[in-house]
């Protein structure tokens, strides 16, 4: 059954997942947990499986995100373990030479049989780059996107042209060869999570989908509509996805109690660590993720019995004019199993 919306999973590649709490089930950033979640996601029919790339966490009592696996290496293993879902790895433009990225994602595409995708990050976490001497303080927010635009253009060229030479502002390639080319046609799927005006323009010009998320549904809708307006202005198309943490139980009361239990275990020091990593003044104005994280959850939440979860996700997709949702669970094995059995079939039927 063809569905007009896409549903994916954000793997728990970093310790603690996407709820900053002492009271959540253990997510230990192990390959075993990630592989199990990916296989379940593939079996229940999710459209894509994605992982982020992190090199430094937020600390606190929970040591949130302090341990994490490498995204591309892990996703190569996930590609072997799955058969249908798109496999999206994350790479940072400020860390990886475009010729290296082109080769790595082409390899992932071959391993997965043409299912590879690339999540592009321009680099906004100063602490994790600075610890390895890779933070370029001369680049402001807009200049990082200029660098990332050049980086992305070169990767696309390397995927399609026999040889590439470029003496750019940020990168130099001299008669560069990158073979084999990707299996995907016309190329691997590209996504980005930038949602500032500059970030949205980059995503619309260079990628197939942008991940967005406001402080609330109203702001998320505004960002989604802005991305689609930019696509119309630039004579192209863009999909908009957002993330949602799903807490599904037999009853609404049971789900609400679980959510409150997680909120009660909020790791305040880890939230402060996250704010510092974003360059946010602890006492100042927060971005959307930090606003949500102050309530333990780092994303939109879907909380209730299966029928309520389906209704909430349907409303999110419709009201915010989204093309898809990337799902997060406090405990992935149980969460994906229930979602695939009790929620996903009804959502697919609704949007068929």
Q: What is the pLDDT of residues 23-70, one digit of tens each?
A: 999 999 999 999 999 999 999 999 999 999 999 999 999 999 999 999
Task: Spell out the domain ranges in the chain.
Answer: 6-136+185-350
- The whole-number pLDDT of residue 295 equals 80
CA dihedral over 91, 96, 101, 103, signed as positive or negative: negative
- The whole-number pLDDT of residue 294 equals 67
- The whole-number pLDDT of residue 148 equals 97
Q: Give the single-character DSSP code of 184.
A: S
- Do residues 122 and 84 make contact, with C-beta atoms less than 8 angstroms apart? no
Q: Residue 34: which of 54, 46, 19, 51 has the closest Cα? A: 51
Entry pTM:
0.95
Among 106-120, 249-263, 275-289, 294-308, which stretch is predicted with the lowest mean pLDDT?
Answer: 275-289
Residue 293 has pLDDT above 70, yes or no: no
- The whole-number pLDDT of residue 50 equals 98
Q: Mean pLDDT over residues 252-263, rounded?
A: 97
- Do residues 60 and 269 make contact, with C-beta atoms less than 8 angstroms apart? yes
Q: How far apart are CA 283 and CA 39, in angstroms?
A: 42
**C-alpha angle 321-326-331 in degrees, rounded to nearest 5:** 140
Q: Residue 36: in which H helix or E strand, if any?
A: helix 31-44
How many alpha carbons lie under 13 Å from residue 180 in its C-beta half-sphere?
10
Q: Residue 201: in which H helix or E strand, if any?
A: helix 197-206
* Cα–Cα distance list, 206 to 149, 151, 166, 203 (Å): 7, 11, 18, 5
Q: What is the CATH number of domain 6-136+185-350?
A: 3.20.20.30
Residue 280 has pLDDT above 60, yes or no: no
Mean pLDDT of the chain: 94
- The whole-number pLDDT of residue 286 equals 52
Q: Mean pLDDT over residues 265-286, rounded?
A: 72
Under the banding of pLDDT at 50, 70 and 90, the label for residue 291 is low
How does DSSP assign 285-313, residue by residue?
Answer: ---HHHHHHTTTBSSEEEEESHHHHHHHH
Q: Give the single-character DSSP code of 83.
A: S
Cα 295 from chain centroid? 20
Residue-wise pLDDT for 84-132, tens only, equals 999 999 999 999 999 999 999 999 999 999 999 999 999 767 888 889 9
Percent of the chain with pLDDT over 90: 86
């Amino acid at each position: 059954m063809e569905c007009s919306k896409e549903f994916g999973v954000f793997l728990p590649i970093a310790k603690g997942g996407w709820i900053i709490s002492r009271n959540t089930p253990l997510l230990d950033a192990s390959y075993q947990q990630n592989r199990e979640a990916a296989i379940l996601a593939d079996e229940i029919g999710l459209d894509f499986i994605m992982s982020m790339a992190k090199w430094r966490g937020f600390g606190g009592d929970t040591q949130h995100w302090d341990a994490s696996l490498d995204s591309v290496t892990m996703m190569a293993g996930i590609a072997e373990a799955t058969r249908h879902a798109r496999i999206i790895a994350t790479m940072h433009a400020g860390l990886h030479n475009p010729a290296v990225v082109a080769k790595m994602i082409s390899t992932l595409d071959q391993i997965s049989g043409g299912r590879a995708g690339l999540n592009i990050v321009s680099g906004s976490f100063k602490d994790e780059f600075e610890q390895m001497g890779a933070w370029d303080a001369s680049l402001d927010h807009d200049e990082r996107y200029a660098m990332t635009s050049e980086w992305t253009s070169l990767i696309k060229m390397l995927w399609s042209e026999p040889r590439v030479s470029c003496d750019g502002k940020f990168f130099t390639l001299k008669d560069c060869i990158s073979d084999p080319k990707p299996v995907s046609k016309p190329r691997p799927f590209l996504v980005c999570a930038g949602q500032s005006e500059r970030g949205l323009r980059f995503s619309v010009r260079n990628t197939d989908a942008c991940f967005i998320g406001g402080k609330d549904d109203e702001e998320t809708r505004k960002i989604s509509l802005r991305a689609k307006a930019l696509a119309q202005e630039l004579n192209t198309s863009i999909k908009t996805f957002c993330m949602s943490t799903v807490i599904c139980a037999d009853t609404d009361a049971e789900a609400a109690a679980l959510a409150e239990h997680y909120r009660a275990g909020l790791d305040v020091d880890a939230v402060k660590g996250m704010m510092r990593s974003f360059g946010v003044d602890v006492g100042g104005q927060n971005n959307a993720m930090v606003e949500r994280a102050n309530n333990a959850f780092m994303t939109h939440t879907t909380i209730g019995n299966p029928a309520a979860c389906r209704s909430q996700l349907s409303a999110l997709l419709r009201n915010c004019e989204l093309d898809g949702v990337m799902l997060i669970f406090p405990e992935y094995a149980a969460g994906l199993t229930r979602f695939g059995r009790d929620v996903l079939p009804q959502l697919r039927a609704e949007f068929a």
